[in-house]
Each structure stands twice: as C-alpha cells, then as structure tokens.
Amino acid sequence: MTSALDIALLFLKLGFTAFGGPAAHIAMYRDEVVTRRKWLDDQEFLDLLGVTNLIPGPNSTEMAIHIGLRRAGWAGFFLAGTCFILPASVIVLLLAWLYVHYGSTPQAGWLLAGVQPVVIAIILQALWGLGRKAVKGPLTALAGLSALALYFLNLHPILILLVCGIGVIIIENLHRLRSMNLHPQLILLNGLSLAAVSAAPFSLSLLFLTFLKIGAVLFGSGYVLLAFLRADFVTSLGWLNDRQLLDAIAIGQMTPGPVFTSATFIGYLLGGVPGAMVSTVGIFLPSFVFVALTSPFIPRLRSSPWLASLLDGVNVASLGLMAGVSWHLARASLIHPLSFILLLISGVFLLKYRLNTTWLILAGALTGFLFHMG
C-alpha cells in the first residue's frame, strides 16, 4: 500500500502540470505510477484504463480516482481525485474573474479570437484520431452518421447516445435477445423515455442538477462536453451564447487538468463563486460514484458482450456529436481571415509535428493579441 500523503502529493503535482488532454494525462500517469514508482504493473494499469471507457465521465480524472483507491484505500480515493481537479479549478476560477472584468475589452477579445480557431483545430484533430479507432465496421459507421444527423435535428445529446448505444446493442446481440424472448422495440422505447431539460430561470439548484446530469451521462472524449453544454446552456436554457461557450472550452483547454473544469468557468459566469463551486462539484461528483461502484467488478465488466456493444455504440455517437458541435462553433468563431489562417496553421502543427496543444493555444492567444496591438 501507499500512503495517502504520497497519493495527494503526486496528483497535486499532476494537477498543476498535466496539460494536453486525457491522452497526455494517461501517459503521464503511466510514467509516474508504473515506470517510476512501480505502484502498478502494465496489466493492472490497462485494466483500470479499460473500465474508465465503460463508464461516463472524464477518463483521466477517473483513472486518478481508481489509482488512489487501489493504492491507498478510501483516503486515496478522495485525495487523488480532489488533488487532480483542484489546481485546474482554482486557475479557471481566476481566469473566469479576469474574463468577467476584462473579457469584453478589445484586447481580451482579440486574445480569445486567436485561441478559438486553435480549439477548433484541436477538436478536429481529436475527432480524426478517435474516429479511426471507434469506427470498427459498417454498423458503428452507421451509428456515428446517425448521431450526426440526429444532432442536426436538435435531439438532446443524451437521447442520441441512448439511441445509438442501444441500437448497436440490439443489432449486435439479436441472437441473445431472441433467446431471452425480449423485444428490441421495447428496449429502444424505454431508452427514449428521457426528456431534455426545459427552459427555466437561472437558479443554483438547476445549475447543479444540469452539471450533475452531464457528469453522469457523458461518454467519450472531453470534447464531447461541448455538445452537452451547448444543448443545455445555449439551446434549452438560453443562459449562454455560442461565443461564451467556446471561450469556456478555450479556458478549460488552456489550463492543466481535466477539460471538465470548463464547468467552473461557466458556473462563475452565471452565478459567481457559488455558481463555480456547485458547477464543479456537480460535474465531477458522478465520477467518484461510478469509480466506487465499478471498482469491485472490473473483471466482469471487461468480459461482458453487452457492455462491449454499448461502448461501441456510445463511442461512435460521441464522435458524431463532436462533429456536429464543431460545425456550430466554427461558424461562431471563424469570422476573420486571421481565424482561418490560425485554423490551418494549427492543423498542420497538430497533424504533422504533434505539437503540444498548450503551446498552440498560447501561440494563438499571443497572435490574436499582437494582431490587435499592431
């Protein structure tokens, strides 16, 4: 076993230095806990990584919680997750304060205008890389295209994930369903019974419940968060516009730790410090719950054909949502020739040179600021 203090110090350090998104976070974890500290071997590490892909929430945060639980019990469970989330949340809260007070000035506006095209390029690059792994055949390709079509028909992301995930389960497991005398139509209708969030005046309780729902159902890359945030806060509730949403994602991407800390930024914009706190707790709380529930059952989860089918469907549906939201955000941010230039240059550096996304975002911010000053 490992001391709770060692767990806290490691993930506090990672919380301040883990730039680059979930894939980069996972690589840093392996270096720290497998190669350097030998807390886990590669097979144990892969087992934990596999189960995080079967449950909703931010993968890298859930990996931190899993490692803490495995090495230091329940104290490690709470400390690993909290210490990884806390640095980014504090940094994002500070940036949100600066944004509220200075974000409407021309200088800050041009700085963010330089960042937004870079974020679009990062999303497209992630979409390309994930798509090659997630599309495993005609069925998953059809599920992904269906998700994209349903997105443009304004269905809520939760319903899209359910339709595609359950659809792939039904088709891939028809022989099992027949042997159990179950009717696929009933399963699909039950999945469609969830309703989208209705428009309502702002309140801290609704803000908390909205982020709690997102944290409890969001599968796939952190960038899929865009689709959920837009559906709830732009379309359903009308509390944000597309530009504010993209700025929130840009701030989350600029900082270390999970992209989900964009919730902290949105919470501050809508409800000040109390809003930031309830938003952060709401979106991350389900990750702790899911890790606690699934940790004892990892071997059985990995071997289940039903969960494997669900994961296939949900993954490609997540990519369809990413593609749809990228279109909307590109329309909101690509409004100046400089934006298109930054998008193309960022794409080249991402695909050809694999430059760390943090450096690209900082370069975009500096370019936008200098362009305005010039």
Tens-place pLDDT, residues 309-320? 877 888 788 788
Band the pLDDT of 193: cuts 50, 70, 90.
Answer: very low
User: Using CA atoms, how far apart are residues 280 and 265, in angstroms rounded to an integer?
Assistant: 9
Helix (H) or strand (E) holding 357: helix 357-373
Q: Which of 33, 70, 32 is nearest to 51 (CA)?
A: 70
User: Using CA atoms, how far apart are residues 128 and 205, in angstroms rounded to an integer?
Assistant: 37
User: Using CA atoms, how far apart are residues 374 and 370, in angstroms rounded to an integer?
Assistant: 6
HSE, side-chain direction, 13 A CA sphere, residue 71: 29
Q: Quick check: 345 pLDDT over 60?
A: yes
**What are the Cα distances from residue 36, in Å, to 32, 63, 321?**
5, 17, 38
**What are the Cα distances from residue 83, in Å, to 64, 121, 215, 244, 257?**
9, 30, 18, 28, 10
Residue 53 has a pLDDT of: 72
Q: Which of 54-63, 176-185, 227-236, 285-294 has the lowest mean pLDDT?
A: 176-185
- What 152-155 contacts at long range (C-beta under 8 Å, 24+ apart), as own/partner pairs, is 152/324, 154/235
Q: Which distant-in-sequence residues (6+ apart) come within 8 Å of 328 by Cβ?
A: 230, 242
User: Using CA atoms, how far apart are residues 286 and 211, in angstroms rounded to an integer?
Assistant: 10
pLDDT tens-digit series, residues 269-285: 999 999 999 999 999 99
Tokens of 81: 């997750």
DSSP 8-state symbol, 104:
T
- Residue keyed to tokens 């495995």: 70
User: Using CA atoms, how far apart are residues 326 and 318, in angstroms rounded to an integer?
Assistant: 12
Band the pLDDT of 194: cuts 50, 70, 90.
Answer: very low
Tokens of 130: 């994930």
Residue 143 has a pLDDT of: 92
Residue 360 has a pLDDT of: 82
Average pLDDT for 222-238 = 86
Question: What is the CA 67 to chain-centroid distance, rounded?
Answer: 20
Q: Quick check: 195 pLDDT over 80?
A: no
Q: Quick check: 192 pLDDT over 50?
A: no
User: Using CA atoms, how far apart are residues 256 and 345, in angstroms rounded to an integer?
Assistant: 23
Residue 183 has a pLDDT of: 55
Average pLDDT for 60-77 = 95
Average pLDDT for 255-275 = 93
Residue 288 has a pLDDT of: 97
HSE, side-chain direction, 13 A CA sphere, residue 93: 16
How long is the chain? 374
- Residue keyed to tokens 């504090």: 90
Return the higher-pLDDT residue of 373 and 153: 153
- Residue 355's SS3 state is coil
Helix (H) or strand (E) holding 205: helix 204-217
**What are the Cα distances from residue 170, in Å, to 142, 166, 220?**
14, 6, 20
Structural contact between residues 11 and 84, judged by C-beta atoms closer than 8 angstroms: yes
Average pLDDT for 79-105 = 90
Residue 115 has a pLDDT of: 79
Structural contact between residues 164 and 313, judged by C-beta atoms closer than 8 angstroms: yes
Cβ-based burial of 150 (10 A; exposed 0-12, middle 13-18, buried ≥19): buried
Q: Quick check: 197 pLDDT over 50?
A: no
Q: What is the pTM of this model?
A: 0.71
